[in-house]
Amino acid sequence: MKYMIAALAGAALVLVALLVFNSNTPKADDPAASSAAVAETHIDEAHASTVKLAVEGMTCQGCVGTIQGALTKTGGVLPGSVVVSLENNSAELKYDPAQVSEADLIDVIKKAGYSASLAANQ
């Protein structure tokens, strides 16, 4: 009998944990939703600007993937436009200046753990 009570108590704990987790999960229409949802906002390619950033600290294709993923998830970046080059230590992409600034893009790379600045041959 006491094993059945312990099992029911454990199941109740799991149910409460799931309810709490679900209530804290942002919904698709929630303005505080993830940056991936923000990246889905419409970007007019005709008004998009191109920026080339110098990136320091990349040592492998994993680093390239980390930076490319972070930039791709950033709101205001044109989907499919991010090209990160390990060989050239650079990232080039198209973005909507009305939604995100060059300084914001540099900050995204810095938050991913790398150094970044505007490329000299802009």
Specify the pairing of strand 83-85 against strand 90-95: antiparallel
Asked if 72 contacts 81 with a C-beta cutoff of 8 angstroms, the reply is no
Please give the model's pTM, rounded to 2 decimal places.
0.66
Which pair of structure tokens corresponds to residue 49? 């600007």
Per-residue pLDDT reduced to its tens digit, 15-65 = 334 343 444 444 444 433 444 444 456 777 888 999 999 999 999 999 999
For the chain, the first-to-last Cα distance in angstroms comes to 74
Distance between CA atoms of 77 and 43, rounded to whole angstroms? 8
2 falls in which pLDDT band (50, 70, 90)?
Answer: low
- Write down all domains in the chain, each with its CATH number in brackets: 35-118 (3.30.70.100)
